[in-house]
Structure 1
Amino acid sequence: MSRRRLLGLGAALGAGAAFAGPAAANAWAAAPRPRGPGAWPVRIELPTGFHPGGVAAGRLPYAYYGSLFGGEIYRADLATGRGEVISPDLGEGNSAAGIALDCRGRLFISGAYSGLARVMDVTTGRDLASYRLGGEGTVVADVAVLADAAYVTDAFRPVLYRIPLGPRGELPSARQVESVPLSGDWVQGAPGEVTALGISPTPDGRALIVVHLLAGGALMRVDPATGAALRIPLGGAVLPSGNGIRLDGTTAYVAQRDAVDVLRLDAAGTRAVPVTRITDPDFDGPSAVAVHGDRLYVSNFGPTTPTHQTPYHSTAVPLVRRTHRSAHTQEETA
C-alpha cells in the first residue's frame, strides 16, 4: 500500500482537478440522527473520483477525508453517511495526503508532492495558514499534532518538519517552521525510495511514532526535540506496507495493503505486541484510519490507477477493546 499510494499520488497529480464545490457554510450543522450508533452506516460513499488519502475524526460525529485529486476535504456525517465538500479543489498539483484534527477544530493537512502543509478551519472550510516545507522534491506524507507543535513526515528524506504552536495553539509564521533531521536507528532508503509515511503521537503524548517501510516494515519512536529514532520491538509483527497509523489509548491501528494491523503499546511507545489483524470484504486498499466512538473508520485508497470516474468509499469496523486515553496531545482521536 505504501509505494502503491505514492504511485497513486503521482497519477492523481497528473490527472488534474476533479471537483470544485464551494465550502460548507457551517461544518457543524445539525443533521437527523438515527436512534442509536448501531444504526449508523458501516459504509460511507465518497464522491466519485475523490481518490481519498487521509482521514480524521473528532468528538463530534463527523469524519474528514482528504482527496489526492486537488486537496479537497469531504466532511461525512457518521450518523447518516451523508456529506459534503467543505474545502474546494485547489487545482492540479495539490493533495490532502495526510490529515490530523486538533482540539480547536483545525485540520492540519499534508500536501504530498506540492510540498505544502496547510491548516484549515473545519467550521468555515477556510485555510488559516499554509507552509512550504523542504525544497524541490519534497513529498510531505502525513501529519500528527502534539501539544506544542505539528509534525509532518517526508516520504523520501530523513527529516520531520516541525510547525510550532503557541501556548494557546497560535499558528507560527513561515520562518518559524523547522526541519528536524532523523537519526539513531533511522535508516533512509535509496534516493526515490519511500521510507516514511504515517505518523502519530505516542500514548503519553511525549514523542512520535513513524511508520518506517524498510526492513520488513517497522515503527520508529522519534524524539520530537532531537529527531533520535528508536526502533520499536513489535513482538514478531511485520508491517511491510504500513501507511496511516492512529492510536486509541495504547492501541495502535496501522493501515496496510489489505488489512488493518492492531498492536498494543506501552505508554511511552517503546514496546508493542501484536493483537490482531482486521480484515473486511469491504476494504479496498486501506490508506488511513480514524477513530470515533467504538468504530474505526478506514479510508480506502481504491485501484492503483485512479480516474475521475472511479467510485470510492470508507468502511467502518468495530474497534478492538478500548484502553485508556492520553490527555497530553492536542490531536483528537475520538
Structure 2
Amino acid sequence: MKIVAAKLHRVRLPLVHEFRTSSHGKSMLDHILVELTDESGAVGWGEVASPSDPFYAPETVESCWHLGERYLVPAILGKEWERPEQLSQLWAKVRGNQFAKSGLDTAGWVLWATINCVPLAEALGGTRTEVVAGVSLGIEPTIDDLLTEVERHLAAGYPRVKLKIAPGWDVEPVRAVRSAHPDLDLHVDANGIYTAEQSDHLKALDEFGLTMIEQPFAPRDLLAHANLQRQIATPICLDESVETLEDLETALSLQAIRVLNIKVSRMGGLTRARAAHDRAHQAGIPVWCGGMHEFGIGRAANVALSSLPGFSLPSDVSASAKYYAQDVITPPVIATQGVVQVPKAPGLGHDVDTAFIAQNAVATIELTS
C-alpha cells in the first residue's frame, strides 16, 4: 500500500451544551480531520481531537496542524507499507505530539480496514458486538443544575456518570449525586488539579463508594498517586499520566494505578492504544475508553477500540447527539439505553459527510507525494 495524497480539514462545530472542567470551559470545538488516499483511490479518515488550548495537554489545534503539515504527512507520503502498525515507524523520529500522530495513525487503520473489507473493530482484534457507554458531566453553575443533568442522562439509559471536580466543587456535588442515586456507577475526574498537600481533602471522597477517582494529581506526579492509593479504598485511575507504554510500566511498578483510562488521542493513535490495552489486560488492570469530545470519526474509532476484551468498564462513547446537533458521519453514533452497537460494515463503519465537513471547515490543505 502507498498513500499518495493527504488532506487536513480544520472543522469547527458548536457543542449542544457548554462543558466545563477544572481548567477551562468550551462551547465550540475545532478538530482536524485527516483524509488519506492510497494509490487505488481508497480513503481512510482519522481525527485529531486536540483541545484548542494547552490545558489538558501541551498540544493545540495549531501545533497539530503544523506537525501534520511539516513532519507527519511528509513522512508517510509515497512510502510502501503493509500493516497500519508500520506507519508510526515512519515518523518515529518525531517525539511526543501524540494528538497530532493519533489522527494519521487512525486514518491508516481505517484505510487498511477499508481496503481489506473488514470492520475497524475486527481489524483491531475486537470481540464485543456492543459497548456500554457512560457520560462525562462538566462543572455546572449549581448543584441543582448538576442533578438535572444527571437525571437527564440517566433517563436516556446511561448506566455510568463521571463528574468533573475541582477544589470547591468536589465533596458536596458528589454527596448530592450519591444521595439522589445510591446505586449509581459514579466516578470523578480532577484532570490533575489537586496537589499532594490536598490529599486529606480527596480522602473525604472515599465514603461515597465511587468506582474510581481519575487523575487527582499532575500527570508526572506518580508518587503522589501511589501514596494516595495506599491510603484510600477507592481505585485511582490514571489518564493524563499515561501517554506512552513506558509511562504505564512506571505506574504499574509504583502501584500508582488500579484503573486505566485509554484515550486514542493521548496515546498517539489506535496502534499504541491497543498496545496499552494489551499490557493493562495482562497486568489485571481494568480499562475503559476516554473521550475528547470527538466528532463522529474519532468517536467511531473509540467504539471500535472499546470492542477489545479488556474494556470491562463503561467507556466515554456516548451518542453523537450528546455533544453535536449534527455530526460529520452518517448515521451518527447512537446509544440505546446506554449501549452502542459496534459497526459491522468495512472500515469506519459509517459514511463520512464530506459536504458537511466542507461546509464547516475553516481551513483545508492537501499534500501529495
Q: Same fold (TM over 0.5)?
A: no
Q: TM-score, normalised by structure 2?
A: 0.26
Higher CA-based Rg: 2
Higher helix share: 2
Which fold has the larger relative contact order, with Cα–Cα distance below 8 Å and residues 6 or more apart in sequence? 2
